[in-house]
Amino acid sequence: MSRTTIADVARVADVSKATVSRVLAGQSKYIREETRQRVQKAIEELGYHPSDMARSLKSKRSCTLGIVGYGLEFFGPSCTISGIEQEASELGYTLLLHLIRQPETNNVEELLERMQSRYVDGIIWAVPEIGENHAWLEDKTLWPSVPIIFLSTEPRPDRFVAAVDNHNGGMMATRHLIVQGCQNIGLITGPLDWWEARQRKLGWKDALESVGLPRKEGYVVEGNWSALSGEHGLTQLLTRYPEIDGIFACNDRMAVGALKRARQMGRRVPEDLAIIGYDDVQDAEYFYPALSTMRQDMIELGRLAVRKLGQVIEAGHNDVLCPPEAVILQPELIVRASSLLRK
Amino acid sequence: MSRTTIADVARVADVSKATVSRVLAGQSKYIREETRQRVQKAIEELGYHPSDMARSLKSKRSCTLGIVGYGLEFFGPSCTISGIEQEASELGYTLLLHLIRQPETNNVEELLERMQSRYVDGIIWAVPEIGENHAWLEDKTLWPSVPIIFLSTEPRPDRFVAAVDNHNGGMMATRHLIVQGCQNIGLITGPLDWWEARQRKLGWKDALESVGLPRKEGYVVEGNWSALSGEHGLTQLLTRYPEIDGIFACNDRMAVGALKRARQMGRRVPEDLAIIGYDDVQDAEYFYPALSTMRQDMIELGRLAVRKLGQVIEAGHNDVLCPPEAVILQPELIVRASSLLRK
DNA sequence: CTATAAAATGTAATCGATTTCAGAAACCGA
DNA sequence: TCGGTTTCTGAAATCGATTACATTTTATAG
């Protein structure tokens, strides 16, 4: 047996499909109470549920958001998606999820087309800006015909963006080390083709400059976000510049790699070497020593993105598709044992 | 301007909509080459893309899988979703994602209805079995009219299930501790209303029984998966039973909690106390000491679920909706420093 | 050069809703 | 009782495809 349709309800309630539709819509006052009840009764009797499919086809609205995500195996992105889903759910949207494995996806066009052919009401592009992977934005013919918001990408006058202030985050982390008394602060960055990594590095630089601390080129080593690269980074830094007494690792994974290697190299953390990470991954306090870090509320970022996008969708089809806007969240300094230096 | 439709293409190519549709379908041989090319040309000229919405409405197939997930902030579930997406993508399915926050969701009916009203081709229920949260399965009227596969739940003759063998995992972990020479092995379980937690506990019990080692009731303490509960658990166990020399913590988070507390209590790990966790979270080797654990390939679990579900969908509408079947994956023992005892 | 089968295309119904437009019913004052 | 609103309901078009069936065209055989 197939779905019960609005026609079935109409037949049972002995009214037209139009009337049933009106009862369904709810707001329309032009329905006699008696009729409404008869229809309601038929609906319940039949256990009728309208087909979102048919509805969307006609209305060109699907109450669906297209989500393009990346790196769900990692903590940050997972939280972002979770936040997106929370808010979307509250606002009555469902998610169409697509994950990208290679950040340089080239089938952007197909992807966007697929989502649009399902009448998504808006799109959230939650793929970090890496290298040229956002170059497709230059080609305006690819721009979707629905609002699209970009997460964790560089704000620009033609985009709708939500991101965490990585530059400030980098500054805060570095300043904290300075306040703790570090004199020579090394940096283990993420891959520098990541916009976020560059921003954090910039924060480190600016923080040092503002207080006139040394900032040799060699104090910087580029990791790849992995713990192993944190280990390598630390080895490089300390062998070449033994005077280094503070490390800002641009994510927690590299930080714990550094933590481990420092121990192996006989450096006490934090007495000889203060270390701070970035992300505040789950149970960061259970590393040894407990890891200081920058917390960024990715769940809130996700929620915020949906909320903003929702507003744009509501405002709707009137004029501009996407008001160029940048929503920036601030990270938070979390001080734990790994950076509690001279006291 | 609105979407270009199949009618536009038909007009430009000077054929009927039916012909365009046939060209689109591809397989139908009953198309003259000349016509096909004319249509193709029109399609490209117009940049036409068919509407999945309309297509699904007619065909009652959406090439979409409904995913109901839980706990995306955690490592395991994230990987599962990622795996699901990978395989789905390869098989040409898109995902409709819905996350549950309270495991005891009571709006199951609405949720299922929502997905079905969007004509999902199948459903993956990736919410662990906790307490009575699967009780709705008793009410067959709720059963969706499309195949549904359950992840990480107890296999039963009326369900289609994919899960990791937690019982065996528990046995393997415990046996490992035994082989390392532990004589008194304590257990920090997850919440016992979780099916997975109960299975792991059972594994512990069976492993001990099979070699005749002591297994007092007090050797068991129930945690809540959090690192903090691991700390508490360890305190309880060691103060009451100082003879304990091995701990099987039923997930890594509790294990690292135990690791930390053991250090605080002056027990050397692994010399005085061997500890093994479960999950193999990212960078588990960077805890101190590096954490032994059971690895479960949740990505593969997700992929497998999709593959199986896909087969059922393909086999399709013929007869039974869901062949009762249980696909069981085996976990893998990962030995690191935290459990390398007597040598 | 027909008769007939095979190949190619078109017509129109269909999927399941929404919505415009028009007609019927109810109400109200004169 | 009549005309004019206001309220309520229905018929039919529409969204954008697919597909059963009908029809035309082409190929093949006799």
Write down the pLDDT at residue A29.
66
Centre a 10 Å sphere on the Cβ of residue A76 and count the other Cβ atoms it contains: 21
State both tokens at A145: 């015909």
Q: Cα angle vertex A101, ends A142, B26, to 5°?
A: 60
Token pair for B307: 């593959």
Q: What's the CA gap between B236 and B126, in Å, rounded?
A: 33
Chain A CB within 8 Å of residue B317 CB: no
Q: Do B90 and A98 contact (CB within 8 A), yes or no?
A: no
pLDDT band at residue A54 under the 50/70/90 scheme = very high
Extract the runs of DSSP E, i.e. beta strands, from chain B. 64-70, 94-100, 122-126, 148-151, 160-164, 185-189, 220-222, 246-249, 274-276, 293-295, 325-329, 332-334
| CA dihedral for A16, A17, A18, A19, sign (positive or negative) | positive
Bridge-partner residues for A292, per DSSP? A276
**B30 touches A at CB < 8 Å:** no
CA A82 vs. chain centroid, Å, equals: 9
Please identify among residues 227-286 of chain A the ones whose CB lies closer than 8 Å to any CB of chain B: 227, 253, 256-257, 259-260, 263, 282-283, 285-286
Cβ distance of B117 and A287 shorter than 8 Å: no
**pLDDT 10s digits, B100-159:** 998 887 789 999 999 999 999 999 999 999 999 999 999 988 999 999 999 999 999 989
Residue of A nearest to B290 (CA): A260
What confidence tier does A213 reach under pLDDT thresholds 50, 70, 90? confident
Contact between B114 and A52 using a beta-carbon 8 Å cutoff: yes
Domains and CATH numbers, chain B: 6-50 (1.10.260.40), 60-165+299-330 (3.40.50.2300), 166-295+333-339 (3.40.50.2300)
Indicate the burial class of B140 (C-beta count within 10 angstroms; 0-12, 13-18, 19 or more).
Answer: exposed
Residue A118 in contact with partner chain B when CB distance is under 8 A: yes
Residue B46 pLDDT class (50, 70, 90 cuts): very high
- Choice between A150 and B317, residue whose per-residue pLDDT is larger: A150
* Residues A144/A117, Cβ–Cβ less than 8 Å: no
pLDDT value of position A165: 98
Closest CA to B56 of A147, A9, A55: A55
Give dist(CA B132, CA B199) in Å, integer: 16
- With a CB cutoff of 8 Å and minimum separation 6, the contacts of B179 are none
CA distances to A52, A301, B53, B118 from A18, in Å: 17, 42, 22, 22
